[in-house]
Chain A
Amino acid sequence: MKIQIPIGPQHPALKEPISLRMTVDGEVIQNADLRLGYNHRGLERLAEEKTWVQNIYLMERICGICSHSHATCYVQGVEMLMDLIPPKRGLYIRTLVSELERVHSHLLWLGIAGHEAGFDSFFMYTWRDREIVMDLLEIISGNRVHYSINSIGGVRRDIDESQKKKILDSLDTLRERSLFYLKIGASEPTFVARLAGVGYLSKESAVALCAVGPTARASSITRDVRKDDPYAVYDEVPFDVGTADTCDVLGRTVVRVKELLESYKIIEFLMKNLPSGNITVKAPRKAKPNEVISRYEAPRGENIHYIISNGTDKPERLKVRAPTLGNYAATIEMLKSGFIADIPLIFAAIDPCICCAERSVELVDARSGDAKTVRMSELRNKANERFKKDPPKRNGIWPF
């Protein structure tokens, strides 16, 4: 017998409002469906009403955990539109903040993973160490969460020698603690047993479902925008892309700890090779009509902003593709044939950031004007029906 279980939007297992519909047969999940829109705020529409500079403030507030990712992705796009080249020192500071953000985000995730696996002391440990990074971000930018370090053409605040020293000192503590977590991850038998084999995503399906970030890297795909399409100063910085080949939640944990250690290496390099000079250049008020795609490797995966300008001081269109959205299809694949008890763990393993990925799809009947919010499964069914009725031509040629 098949039973449908609704989970969310407010549910003990989920920290953010999202609704999952599980079709279960006994304990085993047969199918899963996501319902979104609880967190939809209409950001893309709001962005069209604000100027280029005002939008930096708005972009930071897409998400509180990866606020620098969205702001940087947007600012990089606008700089491309305005033909600005930010000074080296500005780019170094921008990269420094983005790596510190990655560290705080991964420590946060490690804690959540420990919490979902029933290892609460691990959760408290990682969150205690996370405060070290929060302090660093506070002395650099003046705020704990929304750093507001970016401006169009560079950054807003410089760092001095005492801050540099503080960062390097804190790195030693953090590195020591992260090695300790790596040891726990590899040697604590209960923790390993809980994570190993859960949420299997093979390499083939990770490629087919376009998984991004640590979810893809845990299925042994070396995909990282920082290496593949370097932005800011990543082409000068030596670092490796951490991968794992276990394809499960354990692999995703290992990838994130490896990335932590790489991030410390990057921060150390940036601090030791910080060039002198200006931190920002003056930006024009308007941008010429053009369109641009900006890519950024957020802690959760590839973040894409698509910006169209129309010659005024406001964007014509701003499209955000957050990494969590790219991972939803893979999550459903991971949930299938898993157990109900594994749902929080599998769902937490993509490091979901619902507020980044919030979309609502609305279909409006052109004749009657009826609006209807549809679910992902309905959309998929519609697509399949259409495909059966009118199969696309073979060997089609891309029209552009």
Chain B
Amino acid sequence: MLNRLIRWSRIKSPWILHLNSGACNACDIEIVAALTPRFDLERFGILLKATPRHADVIIATGPATLQIKDRLLRIYNQVPDPKFVIAVGACALSGCVYRGAYNILGGIDQVLPVDVYVPGCPARPDAIMDGVIKLLGKL
């Protein structure tokens, strides 16, 4: 009974943490745009949270730079279980135009396990919403 309640609340209101791991800001502003009145992700009960300890879903953008790698892992470990990662944008998928640069790991999945990939350079707010909703359907 309690488990069902927890599962229900998780699906109905996942809290997200936005994490910039070396992105060019384009995906980041599109994520914020998805939360504002035109697209309004909040109507699905999704709230942007500032601290990893409150979050269920990490939305990560950017190709993961060498310097941010340890911080990414530390933040991932701070998120309580069960946790999910959405990689937004072409950089988070494969490194995009930065692929091959000396400071780039090339994709979030080099560091964290990723559940949903949202392609696009930058991904449109509609696409980001689609990704989040597909993740909710998976739960």
Report Cα–Cα, A58/B75, bound state, in Å: 29
B97 touches A127 (CB 8 A): no
Contact of A131 with B97 at beta-carbon distance under 8 Å, contacts A12-B51, A17-B68, A144-B30 already known = no
In this complex, the interface size class of chain A, counting residues with CB under 8 Å from chain B, is 35 or more
Report Cα–Cα, A147/B60, bound state, in Å: 23
A67 touches B26 (CB 8 A): yes
| B32, CB-defined interface residue at 8 Å | yes
In this complex, the interface size class of chain B, counting residues with CB under 8 Å from chain A, is 35 or more
Report Cα–Cα, A144/B29, bound state, in Å: 11
Which residue on A lies nearest to B17, using beta carbons? A10
- B78-119 interface with A by 8 A CB criterion: 96-98, 100-104
B26 touches A145 (CB 8 A): yes
Write out the residue numbers on chain A whose beta carbons fall within 8 Å of the beta carbon of B137: none
Residue-by-residue, is A1-27 near B (CB-CB < 8 Å gives 1, otherwise 0)?
000000001111101110000000000
Write out the residue numbers on chain A whose beta carbons fall within 8 Å of the beta carbon of B68: 9, 17, 38-39
Q: Which of these, B20, B36, B100, contacts A128 with CB under 8 Å?
A: B36
Report Cα–Cα, A11/B49, bound state, in Å: 11
Contact of A12 with B50 at beta-carbon distance under 8 Å, contacts A38-B67, A42-B104, A124-B37 already known = yes
| B27, CB-defined interface residue at 8 Å | yes
Write out the residue numbers on chain A whose beta carbons fall within 8 Å of the beta carbon of B77: none
A61 touches B71 (CB 8 A): no
| A40, CB-defined interface residue at 8 Å | yes
Q: Do most interface residues of chain A lie in helix, strand or loop, or is the interface mixed?
A: loop
B22 touches A17 (CB 8 A): yes
Report Cα–Cα, A13/B50, bound state, in Å: 8
A144 touches B21 (CB 8 A): no
A146 touches B121 (CB 8 A): yes
Query: Shortest distance in angstroms between B91's beta carbon and chain A's nearest beta carbon?
Result: 8
Which residue on A lies nearest to B101, using beta carbons? A42
| B131, CB-defined interface residue at 8 Å | no
Query: Shortest distance in angstroms between B65's beta carbon and chain A's nearest beta carbon?
Result: 6
| B59, CB-defined interface residue at 8 Å | no
- B1-46 interface with A by 8 A CB criterion: 18-30, 32-33, 36-38
Report Cα–Cα, A9/B28, bound state, in Å: 15
Q: What are 29 contact pairs spanning A and B, CB under 8 A?
A: A10-B19, A10-B52, A11-B50, A13-B50, A16-B20, A39-B22, A39-B68, A42-B102, A43-B98, A43-B101, A45-B101, A46-B98, A57-B97, A61-B121, A62-B24, A63-B25, A64-B24, A64-B28, A65-B26, A65-B29, A67-B26, A127-B33, A128-B36, A144-B122, A144-B124, A145-B30, A146-B121, A354-B25, A360-B103
